[in-house]
Amino acid sequence: MLIALILLGAGGLSLASVIAAEVDARRREALAFTLIGASRSEIACARLLEAASIGAIAAVIGGAAGWVGGFWAVDQALRVAWVPGFVAVSLPLILGVVAAVAAAVVGALGAIPKGRGQIVRQLSS
pTM beyond 0.85, yes or no: no
CB-based contacts of 53-56 (< 8 A; 24+ apart in sequence): 54/15, 54/100, 55/15, 55/96, 55/97, 55/98, 55/99, 55/100, 55/101, 56/93, 56/96, 56/97, 56/100
Nearest-CA neighbor of 15 among 44, 43, 53, 46?
53
pLDDT digits (tens, 9 = 90+) for 81-97: 877 788 877 888 788 78
In the chain, what are the domain boundaries? 2-124
- Report whether 84 contacts 67 (CB < 8 A): yes
pLDDT-based confidence at residue 99 (cuts at 50, 70, 90): confident
> Is the model more confident about 74 or about 28?
74
pLDDT tens sequence across 48-84: 788 778 778 888 888 788 888 888 888 888 888 877 7
Averaging pLDDT over each range in 17-21, 22-26, 93-97, which range is the top one? 93-97
Confidence band, pLDDT 50/70/90 cuts, at residue 101:
confident
